[in-house]
């Protein structure tokens, strides 16, 4: 998605060198619709420049700093030399991330999504996250929980989470489920404690997987799993819940696994 407005002075922008002249370089701004900037020869590189083509070439992707913007004359003055290497790398990475996020949005909402819907969903995500990329990364890691505060409908949440988990590479993912454990036996507290120990795997959790169990409110317990990928996290969550259920039922109690907190616990 490209911005329809204008860049601000001091902003770092990404663009492609469109034309090279003796007096400078014209740059098409990749992040803005129908916007083209001019980098004067004195702003291409430090020191005296004999030939601009020694420093840039047509089609090259560059990062430039916006010096001035004159909307009335449709002019944007740029500087390439005012961007250091760290800024260049960081801006390029952010730009690449934005392109990825734009692609993920189309996957989630459909390639034929109209601009109004795209903008509405994007703005809702940006209320909670600094960028669309951050929103999709959070959705890949934490699923529906990452989008609880985002003002979109449940179908859109499901679509975003599915697109994120199928396309976003993250170092780990978190999944959460709940298990109800009840025992009417005189030593029922011990039965529940044994069931929770069984859920924790008795030290047999695979390497790279973290499992945490917390008390929510009788008889409900939260199981949270962190794993290198969604498939592993889901399988370990279900296995932990099953171990707890089998343990409590073997002691004459009852156990039930569910994905959402009970309404009366909210």
Mean pLDDT value of segment 56-66: 96
| Residue 1 included in any domain | no
Final residue belonging to a domain, choices 83, 113, 128: 83
In this structure, the answer to whether residues 202 and 157 fall within a common structural domain is no
Query: In this structure, are 258 and 180 located in the same domain?
Result: yes
Percentage of the chain surpassing pLDDT 90?
76
Q: Which of 167, 193, 219 is the last residue of a domain?
A: 167
Tell whether 61 and 116 lie within a shared domain: no
Structural domain count of the chain: 3
pLDDT over 90 at 218, yes or no: no
55, part of any domain: yes
Residue 258, H or E segment: strand 254-258
Q: Please indicate, yes or no, if residue 236 is contained in any of the structural domains.
A: yes
In the block, residue with structure tokens 């692609």: 103
Residue 263's pLDDT is what? 61
Identify the pLDDT of residue 250. Answer: 94
Arithmetic mean of pLDDT over the chain: 92
Q: What is the CATH number of the domain that holds 75?
A: 2.40.50.140
Whose CA is closest to 146, among 128, 126, 130? Answer: 128
User: Does 259 score more than 60 pLDDT?
Assistant: yes
- Identify the domain containing residue 103 by its residue range: 87-167
β-bridge pairing 24-29 and 12-21: antiparallel
CATH number reported for the structural domain that contains residue 107 in this entry: 1.10.150.190
pLDDT computed for residue 119 by the predictor: 92
pLDDT at 12 over 80: yes
Within a domain: residue 4? Answer: no
Prediction pTM value: 0.66
Q: Which residue has the higher pLDDT, 231 or 254?
A: 254
């Amino acid at each position: 998605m490209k911005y329809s407005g204008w860049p601000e002075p001091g902003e770092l922008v990404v663009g492609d060198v469109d034309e090279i002249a003796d007096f400078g370089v014209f740059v098409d701004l990749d992040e803005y619709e129908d916007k083209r900037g001019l980098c004067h020869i004195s702003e291409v590189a430090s020191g005296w420049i004999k030939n601009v083509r020694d420093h840039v070439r047509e089609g090259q992707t560059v990062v430039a700093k916006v010096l001035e913007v004159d909307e009335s004359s449709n002019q944007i003055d740029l500087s390439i030399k005012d961007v250091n290497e760290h800024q260049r790398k960081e801006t390029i990475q952010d730009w690449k991330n934005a392109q990825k996020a734009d692609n993920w949005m189309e996957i989630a909402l459909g390639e034929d999504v109209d601009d109004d819907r795209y903008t509405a969903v994007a703005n809702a995500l940006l209320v909670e996250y600094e960028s669309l990329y951050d929103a999709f990364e959070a959705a890949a890691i934490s699923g529906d929980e990452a989008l609880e505060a985002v003002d979109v409908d449940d179908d859109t949440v499901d679509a975003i989470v599915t697109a994120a988990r199928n396309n976003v590479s993250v170092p780990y993912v978190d999944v959460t489920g709940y298990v109800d454990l009840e025992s009417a036996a005189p030593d029922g507290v011990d039965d529940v404690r044994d069931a929770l120990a069984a859920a924790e795997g008795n030290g047999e959790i695979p390497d790279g997987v973290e499992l945490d169990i917390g008390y929510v409110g009788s008889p409900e317990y939260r199981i949270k799993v962190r794993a290198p990928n969604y498939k592993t996290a889901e399988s370990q969550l279900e296995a932990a819940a099953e171990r707890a259920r089998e343990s409590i039922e073997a002691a004459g109690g009852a156990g039930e696994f569910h994905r959402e907190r009970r309404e009366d616990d909210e």
